[in-house]
Structure formats: structure tokens, C-alpha cells
Structure 1
Amino acid sequence: MHVKECIVSAPGKSILHGEHAVVHGKVALAVSLNLRTYLYLKASSTGKVCINLPNIDTFLCWDLSELKQFIPDSCGKREEAKRPDAELVRRLREFVGVTNGNLDTRSMATLAFLYIYLSLFGSGDLPSLTVCVWSELPTGAGLGSSAAFSVCLAAGLLSASGAISTPLKEWDNTARWCQEDMELINSWAFQGEMIIHGNPSGVDNAVGTWGGILRFLSGKIIPLSRVPLLRILLTNTKVPRSTKVLVAGVKDKINKFPSIMNPVLDSVDAVSCTCEKILAEMTSQPITGEHYNVLEELIDINQHHLNVMGVGHPALDTLCRVTLARGLHSKLTGAGGGGCGITLLRPETDCSVVQSTIQDLKDCGFDCWETSIGGPGVQQHSALSVKEEILEILNHY
């Protein structure tokens, strides 16, 4: 292996504006969420390949002899992968016990890991290594946890295989790859997402790779060149929902009331574009209170639009009511129908207000974190730059 040990991380993602409307050809803004997934890769001499996923109590090892049977005929180490090798996926699904009725997080994460590992190392001797992945992101909450996992796998395994260079110099705490290497990371992360989800949009892995804020329109993803870092509260209502059912419901409503719903979609598109303009202003001139006033109004407008689309939920109404009582503005993020919401924090928002709001939301039975959006994408870290408690978890396994 070219790299004997490395630590990488990638952010989660949130939708700032444009959810559901994006399905109907409107602009959406996807943002990196500074709750990160960390991967620690270490070469070993055990003759085994191990993956440890402490968040989901998964600890698996295979002898190299078991995995050699799956080495694909062609390996795309230095080429951008386009689509997964269907035959290799089929054989690995049988190996890890994934059937159509068994699409649990553990099995799909294992499948993605083995696929990328075998595809990248299959042209030579399979190396013995241990990979540990730990995340600050809740799974299944629409926050891009699987994409952050796939981005970390791609970055770690591409580095170990020598397909991309190691950006971290001796004196660095963190470092990012060059554009060409990032594109390769993103392409392999998209492979992982296709294995896990079947037909993903590519937005989540793009956010995990490049970070910041991305403009998404009709399948085209454009990273915004400069973006402000915005403080938010992220709240998980813990109300389960089906994205597929919610998307179908919006489509039915548009078909039933086109003259009513199409202007709503146009208005959401205008919200996204106006927000993009304000964010650009915030990086090119001094940030003022008026910028935050507009961002708050856009949040309120979009939340009302999402309720009109039928993707609201009483738990999300409670989130908006509780935060507004503290002078803060919230909207759902993602599919809606429960799930998660974001609350914008102004720079002058007092710490006591933030803590009181978090406690109010926890009293409602929700999970709540203070974090930020717009931060960096995939990075390599020195051990010194990783929080002590995270490093302890990664080293423990």
C-alpha cells in the first residue's frame, strides 16, 4: 500500500432551499453540514480486511483468501468510475447476505466498502488493512450520512492505493486534495451511493466532497465559489418519514392543482435564487443585519411553501413555534413529513438564548445540535487536528 495510515473526514449535508421543487426542475441549494464522518485507515499484517462501524455496532473481518474470489476482471483505479460493475455487486450482495428484503444500514455499508476496496486494489495483491468509520451524523435522517461515509471510503482507499496523492504535509494539521483528485474521490463516492441507494442524484456526495454550498438544477451541480459560514441549530424531530411517499404526494398535488401549485414551485425557485444572491453579497461586502433579515424572511416564506406542498408535520410546526418564541427562524430540511429542521442563528444571538432554545427543543423530545453550514468538504487530518474523543473512538477499534 502507498499509505500505511490516514485519517479523513467528510461533512453531512442539508438542503437550505428548494427541496421538492428541485424534482420539478427548480433550483435547490445544498449546503455542507459541519457534523462530520471520520475514517481511520491502517495497514496491518494480519492477513485480514476489517471494517469497524461503532455507530451501528458493526465489526467485521474477512481473510484475504475469502475476498480474492471477487477480484474483478477490470479495475478502474485511475479512471473515473461511471457505474458499478453489476456482476461484482451481485456476487458481493450474496456474500454479505443482502437481498431485496434486507437493505439494512449495516449490510449496505459493508457492501459499499467491499466493492470500493476490491475495485481499487484488485489489480494487484489485496492488502491487509483495518478501516474504522465513526460519525457525528445520525443515520436515516436525510443529512447525507451515507454519502459522507462513501466520500470517506473513497478518499481513504484511493489514498491507500496510490490512485491519488497524499495532500497532508508534515507541518499540516488538515489538507485538501487538488481538483483532479477531488473529482476522482467524488466519482468513487457516487459509486458507493449508487450501491447503497440505487439511483441517487449525486448532490449528497458532491457536498461531501467539495463542501460549501452547491447549486443544483436539472442534474447539474455547481459549487458556489465563496460562501459565508452560517451558524445554525439542527433539530431532528425523530419522526420517521418516507421520502418516496412525500415526493409522490407533491407530484399528485401539482397534477391536481397545476394553476395553484406551479406558481408555488416558481416562488420556491425565486427563494433559492434570492438566497444565492444574498450569500454572494455576504462574501463580497461587509455583512449587515439586513442580510440576516432577508435570510430569515426567506426561511419563513419557504417553510410556508413546503406546508402548502403538503410535506409539513405537527412536529415541524412545533419546531418553528418554539424557535420563533426565542426570535429565531426555522424551516424543515430535506423531505419533510417529520425528519429534520434548521434554525438560523445570527452572529449576535446570545449563547444563553441558544442554550435555552436547545433545551426547549429537547423538552419536546427532539435531538438538537448547534453547528454550522458552508464548511469544508473532504479533508485529510493529522492526528493532532482531530478532537481527542474522536481519535480515541477511532483508535479503540
Structure 2
Amino acid sequence: MQVKDLYVSAPGKAILHGEHAVVHGKVALAVSLNLRTYSRVKATTTGTVCINLPNINTFLCWDLSELKQLIPCSGGKKEEGKLLDAELVGKLRDFVGATNGNSETSTMATLSFLYIYISLFRSSELPSLTLTVWSELPTGAGLGSSAAYSVCLAAALLCASGAIPTPLKEWDPTARWCQEDLELINSRAFQGEMIIHGNPSGVDNAVGTWGGMLRFLAGKIIPLSRVPLLRILLTNTKVPRSTKVLVARVKDKINKFPSIMTPVLDSVDAISCTCEKALSEMTCKPITGEHYNTLEELIDINQHHLNVMGVGHPALDTLCRVTLTKGLHSKLTGAGGGGCGITLLRPETDSYVIQTTVQDLRDCGFDCWETSIGGPGVQQHSPLSIKAEVLEILNHY
């Protein structure tokens, strides 16, 4: 193993504009959230591999001798890419199913870890290590928690295997990998997402890898070179929803009312493109109140369009109503039908207004955080750059 102790983090994601329309060939803008997943890989001499996931109450250990038996007979190191090794996946499913009595979330997280670990080290000696992952992101809320987890796994284990270098210099608090290494991290993280979700779009892991903002159109993902860091409130209504059901609902409405819904989709596409242009201007010109006026209007228009598509929810209406009484503008993010929403905060927004808004939303039974969008993607940390409470969790084992 190339490193003895390694700390890595990756951001969650939100959809700024274009959710649902993107399924029908329109532009979507995905942004990184400054709520992060943190991981620590620690080399050990115990002859075991352990995974510690305190968010989902999972701690598992295996003898290296057990895991060596799972290495596919084909032996050699598989080419990096988007395809999974079906033989290894099958062996791992049988192995984890027989040894893990935990939840579905725990099982999928375990499968993803073991797949990346074995596929990276299969042609060399399996190293003894402990991986701890802790996240600020809620699971199952459409905020890219599984992708941030997969990106952390990929970056940490690629470094541990020597496939990519550790970018952190002795004097740096944090550091990022070069473009070529990021592409390798993203490719491995996508494999982790395939284990967890089956047929992911690749957007979530790309945001976790590159950060900032990505433009997604017809399967093509383009990271935008510069975007402003925007403050938001992120609200989880805690209303469960099925993305599959909501996507089908939109499709049915388009089939039933094509002459009505096609212009709605075209309008959402125009919203995404107009927003992209406004954000680009904010990185090369002095930011004015007019820029924020534009972003707020686009948020309001898109939220109405999403209600027209049938993916709104009374809880999301409550979010929009509560924030609007404070002069703030909100929209759903992701699949809708509950789930999460984002509220834009202008630079001049008074801290008292933010505090009272957060409290009002919590009084509605929602979870609410002040955070930002557009921050960095996956990065390596020195221990001193990680918040003390997070470091304590990561160093517990």
C-alpha cells in the first residue's frame, strides 16, 4: 500500500435547473454542495480489511484470506472504464448477502467498497486497511450522497494502490488532483454508482469529482470552468418520493398534452441556458443586484414549470411560501414530489432573516442548512484542515 494515512472529501450535488426536462433532451445544470463526505484510509497490520460507516451504523471486517478467494479467475488487472466485471460483482453479491445482515443502504455501500478495493488490488497483494467514511449529507434525499461516497472511495483507494499520486504537499491544507487523475477517479466512482444504482446518469459522480457546475445535455457532461460561489438554504422536506414514478408522471403528461408540455420543456431549457449565461457573467464582471434579480426570477419561473409538470408537492409549496415572506426565492431540486429544495441567499441578506427563516422551516418539520453551491470537487486534506468533530469521527477506528 502506497500511503499509510489518507484523508479525502467530496461534495454532494443539487440540480439548479433542468430537472425532468433533461430526460427529454434539454439542458440541466448540476452544482456541487458545500456539504461534504469525508473519508480516511488507514493502513493496518491486522491482516483484515474493515469498513466503518457511522452514518448508517455499519462496521464490518473481513480477513484478507476471505477476500482473496473472491478475486476472479481471470486474474489480471481489468482495464479502467465504465463496464463492471460481472464475475466479481456476482461473487461479491453472494459474499455480502451471506455475511451482511444490515440494511439495503449498508449492503450497497459495502458492495461498492469491496468492488473498488478488489478491482484495484486484484493483481497485487491485498493490503490490510481500515476505511472510515462520514457524511454531512442525508442519505436518500437526492443530494448525491452515494456519489460523494463513491468518489471518496475511488480517490482514496486509487492513491493507496499507487495508481494516482497524493497531491498534498507538506505545507498544504488541501490539494486537488490533475485533470488526468480526476478522470480516473470519476471512472472508478462511476463503477461504484453502477453497483449502487444500476444505471446512473454519471452526473452525480462527475459533480463529486470536479465540483463547481456541470452542464448536462443528451448524456454529455461538460464541467464549466468558472462559476461564482452562491449561498443557499438547503431544505429537506423529509417527504419520501420515487424518482421513477415522478419521471413516468412527467412522461405521461407530455404524451397526453404534447402541444402544452413541449413549450414548457423548451422554456425550462431556456431557463438553464439563461442561468448559465448569468452565472458566467458573474465570474468576469462586477456582480450587481441585477444578476441576483435574474437568478431569483429564473428560480420562480422554473418552480412554476415544475408544478405544471406535476412534480410539486404541498411541502414544497410551504417551503416557497415561507421563504417568500422573507423576500427569498426557492425551488425544488431533484425529482420533486417532496424531497429537497434550494433557496438563494443574496450577499446582503441579513443574518437575522436567515436565522428566522431556518427556524420557520424547522418549525414546519423540515431539516434546513445554510450552505453554498459551486465549491471544489474531490480533494485531499491534511488533518488540520478538517473540522475537529469530523476528524474525531474519522480517527475513532
Please give the range of the TM-score, normalised by the shorter of the 2 chains: over 0.9
> Matches of 1:372 and 1:201 in 2, distance apart?
24
Indicate conservation of the 8 Å contact 2:77/2:122, yes or no: no
Distance 1:132-1:307 versus aligned 2 partners, 3 A rule = same
The SS at the match of 2:395 is helix
State the aligned residue count. Answer: 394
TM-score when normalising by structure 2: 0.98
Alpha-carbon distance, 1:211 to partner: 0.1
Counterpart amino acid of residue 70 in structure 2: F
Deviations 1:135-180 (A, max 9, x none): 0000000000000000000000000000001100011100000000
Task: Give how far 1:80 is off.
Answer: 2.8
| Unpaired stretches in structure 2, ≥5 consecutive residues | none
* Whole-angstrom distance in 1 between the partners of 2:69 and 2:262: 53
1:374 maps to which residue? 374
Q: Report the secondary structure of 1:19's partner residue.
A: coil
> What amino acid is the match of 2:248?
A
1:112-149, Cα deviation, whole Å (9 max, x unpaired): 00000000011111100000000000000000000000
Partner of 1:305: 305
Q: Report percent identity of matched pairs.
A: 84
1:88-167 correspondence to structure 2 within 5 Å: 88-97=88-97, 104-167=104-167
Cα distance in structure 2, aligned partners of 1:143 and 1:24: 21
> For structure 1, which runs of at least 5 residues remain unmatched after alignment?
none
Aligned residue type for 2:285:
Q
2 CA distance for matches of 1:92 and 1:75?
18
Match of 2:228 in 1: 228
Aligned to 2:276: 276
Segments of 4+ moved more than 2 angstroms: 72-77, 79-82
CA RMSD for the aligned pairs? 1.2
- CA shift digits 1:228-252 (9 cap, x unpaired): 0000000000000000000000000
Q: 1:7-156 residue pairs with structure 2 within 5 A?
A: 7-72=7-72, 73-76=74-77, 79-97=79-97, 104-156=104-156
Question: Is 1:261 the counterpart of 2:261 in the alignment?
Answer: yes
Q: What is the TM-score when the length of structure 1 is the normalising length?
A: 0.98
Write the letter of the residue equivalent to 2:185.
I
Q: 1:75 to 1:336 in 2, by over 3 A?
A: farther
Deviation at 1:87, TM superposition (A): 1.3
For 2:287, the equivalent position in structure 1 comes to 287
Which deviates further from its counterpart, 323-332 or 80-89?
80-89
How many angstroms apart in 1 are the aligned matches of 2:363 and 2:203? 33
Contact 1:75 1:120 in 2 (8 A): no
Shift of 1:2: 0.7
Q: CA deviation at 1:98?
A: 8.0
Alpha-carbon distance in 1 for matches of 2:114, 2:62: 10
Structure 1 counterpart of 2:58, which letter? T
Deviations 1:320-345 (A, max 9, x none): 00000000000000000000000000
Report the CA distance between 1:103 and its aligned residue: 7.6
Q: Which amino acid aligns with 1:69?
A: Q
Secondary structure, in 3 states, of the residue corresponding to 1:170? coil
